[in-house]
Amino acid sequence: MKEHVYNLVDLFAGAGGLSNGFQQTQRFNVVAAIELNEAAQSTYIINHNNNSNIILKDPATNQSDITKIDFTTLNLPSDQTVVVGGPPCQGFSNANRQKNYLISGNNQLVKEYVRAIRDIKPVAFLMENVKTMHSSVHKFFVTKTAKLNKNDFSSLQHLDLIAEDNEPIYSLDQIDLLVSNNDEIREFVENFESLSDVPSPFISATDSLTLLRTLQKRFEKKKYLQLKDNREIRDVQQIVKQLSNYQHSSEVIQQIITKAIVLLEQLTDHHIRINEKVSSLVSFNEFNRFLTRCKELNDEEIECLRLFTSVNELNEFTVKAEVYSYNVVEYLKSIFKYYGYQVVDEVLDSSHYGVPQKRKRFIMMGVRKDNIKIALPKILTDSPYTVEDAIKDLEAIEPQTEISGYKNDIYYPDQQRDHHVSPLLDYYRENLKSESILFNHLNTKSTPLIKKRFEEIKNSNGKNFHSLPEELKSSYTDAKRTQNTVYLRLKYEEPSPTVVNVRKSMWQHPTKARALSVREAARLQSFQDQFIFIGRKDEQYQQVGNAVPPLLAKALATNLLKFI
């Protein structure tokens, strides 16, 4: 008897690692995918028989933008459909005061995933995300009640509706809007009791905000301030023009603006070394960031109960907004249970499921059935595959450096398997049209300095960037703070660490003085060699680093089938 095949909808699909693992069970058929990145779309399409219609797009914009997709038009049978995906979710932290924006728009995408589940009503879903998803920094803020908005996923009214046993999942919280020791500013902001009291920002364009912050950092580092080129001069002149048109009745605000204008006008003519003058830029940036954050809370319709000011023992004051917040995972469990799903979540290590990599990810699974107890898959192995199992057979094949003219016919099984026969090889080489084909064995052509670094780490049996002598670190601004994953040299006898964009991190082959290829990184992620990546080299590396390992996905799919 032929086994039932389910429809699969792949949200935030990337290159398609998650759905690829589901398809390997031969029990799932991808009917629709959403992915905004065009290079990743191209990869997805070529690995699905060049079916460009598999990517869902908004007819008005021709973009695969999930915020514009009406899932009710898919008309998929609920009991035969499964939804998978990993929506971006950025943590919130008051400690990060330097960002232009407080609240990541990416967090809205988690709610778009919820909307998809509500409208498609699949028999089951699976969500993948960062391992820290449970932590307190992954939270939403309560918004004002939006009347007649069926996509209200964050108001008190909505949260009270989905609460189990009338136990609210939200609680009081505080957002730091300004931290300063400027008495002049403090005197002014202490009068603010609500967001409606706060004036609009002096400057709100992202490029302008970034430039002003860059100028401040440049002075702090070099102790003098000078514009780099004519473009910066033009941009500063444009900022001055905007500031000259800003009108407010407060003398404090007008003084802050006037001092900033004087400094910026002087800066367009010559460099500045006087700390007292640059302090006016610091005050301006501080206060404008506060105004920008207040505007953001308004624009995002955050339910702000009040503004208040506190002072510490160093006479540094903080302006805070009192709000409600709720944990993302607790919310997801509540909303999916409200929609009728049994829900389970856990952090799983990919190396326990056949992936030659230590990669921990948060997994949530839901099944729309009553009276069943669901569970995520048990560990399949305590003896994980290693880097050697994954890429040893590619050791003697020199990666190519150009996409144009790339030669696929470079793999010779008899030669490649002489030294180490891995049980993974049959899996990697499965279903290829020719046994000599090897796609995407590409890396970036190294500069002389990078070659020296690779050679030094290899010859000294080094571990990473910090194994280099000082003269080979000089191009890095702050060598001591460089992460241990930069120029990381992999070890054959161990599973790989978590694969990221290995091109940006300059990961090194275990025995060669060169960077890992796209294909080698893909092997570490458990992609089969028949899977083709499309785009520029940096885009291919990024797609590999962002992906869910297919063998982890296959284990999740196999487990899910037990419950549906």
Within 8 A by CB and 6+ apart from 234, the residues are none
User: Across-strand partners of 357?
Assistant: 496
178 phi, psi to nearest 5 deg: -155, 130
Spatial separation of the C-alpha atoms in residues 278 and 264, rounded to whole Å = 10
Q: 104 falls in which pLDDT band (50, 70, 90)?
A: low
**Mean pLDDT (whole number) for 350-356:** 97
Which amino acid does the sequence have at 81?
A: T
pLDDT at 303 over 80: yes
DSSP class per residue in 35-101: ---HHHHHHHHHTTTT-GGGB--BTTTTB--GGG--GGGG---GGGEEEEE--------TT---SS-
Spatial separation of the C-alpha atoms in residues 57 and 60, rounded to whole Å = 9
At residue 333, the 3 state secondary structure works out as helix
Q: 57 falls in which pLDDT band (50, 70, 90)?
A: very high
Q: What is the pLDDT of residues 182-198, one digit of tens each?
A: 888 888 888 899 999 99
Q: Tell me which of 89, 260, 321, 522 is the catalytic residue.
A: 89
Predicted TM-score (pTM) of this structure: 0.89
Contacts 24+ apart (CB under 8 A), 34-40: 34/10, 34/64, 34/66, 34/69, 34/85, 35/64, 36/63, 36/64, 36/65, 36/66, 37/539, 39/534, 39/535, 39/536, 39/539, 39/540, 39/543, 40/13, 40/14, 40/15, 40/535, 40/539, 40/543, 40/546
Q: Evaluate whether 363 touches 404 at the Cβ level (below 8 Å).
A: no
Please report, in angstroms and rounded to a whole number, the separation of the first and last CA atoms in the chain. Answer: 17
- Higher confidence at residue 415 or residue 436? 436
Q: Would you state the pLDDT for residue 434?
A: 92
Spatial separation of the C-alpha atoms in residues 336 and 343, rounded to whole Å = 7
Q: Evaluate whether 251 touches 179 at the Cβ level (below 8 Å).
A: no
Is 294 annotated in the active site?
no
Q: What is the pLDDT of residues 2-48, one digit of tens each?
A: 689 999 999 999 999 999 999 999 999 999 999 999 999 999 999 99
Number of CB atoms found within 10 A of residue 166's CB: 6
Q: Evaluate whether 17 touches 548 at the Cβ level (below 8 Å).
A: yes
